[in-house]
Amino acid sequence: MRGDTIAAIATSPSGVGGIGIVRISGEHAEEICRRLFRPSREVTCYESHRLYHGHIVDIERDMIIDEGLVALMRAPHSYTGEDVLEISCHGNPLILKSVLDLALKAGARPAEPGEFTKRAFLNNRIDLAQAEAVADLVSAGTERGLQQALQALRGGLSAEIRSFRVSLADVLAAIETHIDFSEEDIELPSLRQYIGRLEEAAAAMAETAATYDKAIFYRDGVTAVIIGRPNVGKSSLLNCLAGRRRAIVAVEPGTTRDFIEAEVLIGDIRVRFVDTAGIRDSDHPVEAEGVLYARERADDADLVLVVIDGSGEFTREDSEIIEAYRAKNMLVVVNKDDLTRRLSLEDLERVDPGSKPVFVSAKENRGMEELRERIGQLYDTSGIGDSDVMLTNLRHKEAVEVAAACVERAVRNLKEGASPELPALEISEALRHLALITGEEAGEDILDIIFSRFCVGK
């Protein structure tokens, strides 16, 4: 990439802000700075990591675009490891686009998604696990998720993977010594002495991989679909959980025909509640389509809240809905608890043995705290400390699981007295998969996939 200078708007493109930043990286960064920036005081040589005040100008039209600040960070002490120029101007999207256009006219090209971070990785400023943590840091929606991303960015995950690799590499070296000197008249220690060490490594890797199932919810949150028959109070429940009116509430069944969503923070988890059309047979094509979509959203949800009318009898439709989603994370919510209860809990128990429904009154906003607590318990991570490494990336989880499985096979080989070449091969494969996490074994195809998921400008 030598000689290739890239530029992009580095701040959020979602709207107008007080300040916006255009980032430029490459060996022509200073040249571009001199072409489009006029400092308030004469500058002979731009010092690295110092802010300069002045105006951004279009020299072709002899026109001032904006007043702002620039900072030139010289290689290798920059985010990308190259010369980096950051232009801070007012956050109007029109101004930012004009400044970016000037940078492109001055010799830069538009940056691809994640290309700044990709250059940081390729220039050995960060490893691949740290690079992926940048994306998690930008998208973190909870304090716990933010702390986990920061820990990974500081190298916490990389250090854990490195400790696994060091331990396995030591054992592999001992096994390879046996292979190299097997025909020599040298007495070598038994390889069985390394079984315990390998078992500890496999167990530690399995424990790390197991954090993913809960930790992933810190990054992506939980989608909870509210489903049930018409007029059982699904929309009222959504409004109570959201703390504001998000859905239309009406006595007439079939009011909700589209998805209405509300995002709520429960403990450390961001929960996206989705209100859906009432589940019933309908001849109305729009309502029938809404019911179909409701079932599809519930099929894909992390959590399903099945709402039942506690003031009415337990119906065949209630039973069918519970049966359909009992295999998923599901909570039965009995609504309208402010009215006389006619629901047969024995009927509910027959359909959902061991069921522990939550009784609420959406009308009077009762039982919501218990419902939130029950949801929080499903995604409880109290056993995981703030300093513990947690995997929030499926790629990392799969690589650690494969590595652990390889080590377990190596242990079996040693216990069975197999030829040392077999455990050596398994440990080598484990090391290769661990190296995929930090990037030592990552090919260009893997890098392209990873960095394509980044936003432009990062």
Least Cα distance to 204 among 170, 162, 265, 238 occurs for 162
What CATH code is carried by the domain that includes residue 353?
Answer: 3.40.50.300
Give the whole-angstrom CA distance, residue 131 versus residue 144: 19
Taking 3-state DSSP, the helix, strand and coil percentages for the chain, each rounded to the nearest 5, stand at 45, 20, 35
What percentage of the chain exceeds 70 in pLDDT?
90
Q: Is residue 122 part of a domain?
A: no
What does the angle CA 451 – CA 165 – CA 428 come to, to the nearest 5 degrees?
Answer: 90
Amino acid letter at 119?
R
What would the pLDDT profile of 3-61 be if each residue is shown by its tens digit? 699 999 998 766 677 899 999 999 999 999 999 999 999 999 999 999 999 999 998 89
Q: Are residues 302 and 185 in the same domain?
A: no
Q: Is residue 235 part of a domain?
A: yes
Q: How confident is the model at residue 157 (pLDDT cuts 50, 70, 90)?
A: very high
Q: Is residue 176 part of a domain?
A: yes
In this predicted structure, the answer to whether residue 116 has a pLDDT above a threshold of 70 is: yes
Q: Are residues 105 and 40 in the same domain?
A: yes
Q: Is residue 181 part of a domain?
A: yes
Domain that holds residue 368: 221-378
Range scoring the smallest mean pLDDT among 91-95, 346-350, 453-457: 453-457
Q: Are residues 281 and 367 in the same domain?
A: yes
Least Cα distance to 206 among 438, 408, 2, 56 occurs for 408
Give the whole-angstrom CA distance, residue 74 versus residue 46: 10
Q: Is residue 216 part of a domain?
A: no
Q: Are residues 328 and 184 in the same domain?
A: no
Could you tell me if 337 and 310 are in contact, meaning their C-beta atoms sit under 8 angstroms apart? yes
What would the pLDDT profile of 176-192 be if each residue is shown by its tens digit? 888 877 666 555 567 88
Q: Are residues 40 and 92 in the same domain?
A: yes
Give the whole-angstrom CA distance, residue 229 versus residue 232: 6
Alpha-carbon distances of 169 from 191, 194, 255, rounded to whole Å: 14, 12, 63
Give the whole-angstrom CA distance, residue 416 versus residue 192: 10
Q: Is residue 116 part of a domain?
A: no
- Domain finish residue from 357, 378, 399: 378
Give the whole-angstrom CA distance, residue 148 versus residue 143: 9
Q: Are residues 99 and 248 in the same domain?
A: no
What percentage of the chain exceeds 90 in pLDDT?
53
Q: Are residues 21 and 93 in the same domain?
A: yes
Q: Are residues 346 and 407 in the same domain?
A: no
What CATH code is carried by the domain that includes residue 36?
Answer: 3.30.1360.120
Question: How long a stretch of residues is the chain?
Answer: 458
Q: Are residues 177 and 235 in the same domain?
A: no
Residue 102 belongs to what H/E stretch?
Answer: helix 93-105
Query: 244-251 long-range CB contacts below 8 Å, 24 or more apart?
Result: 246/275, 247/275
Give the whole-angstrom CA distance, residue 140 versus residue 308: 34
Number of Cβ within a 10 Å radius of residue 297: 18
Q: Are residues 396 and 320 in the same domain?
A: no
Q: Is residue 291 part of a domain?
A: yes
Q: Are residues 204 and 246 in the same domain?
A: no
Predicted model pTM: 0.76
Q: Is residue 255 part of a domain?
A: yes
Q: Are residues 250 and 180 in the same domain?
A: no
What CATH code is carried by the domain that includes residue 419?
Answer: 1.20.120.430
**What is the count of structural domains for the chain?**
3
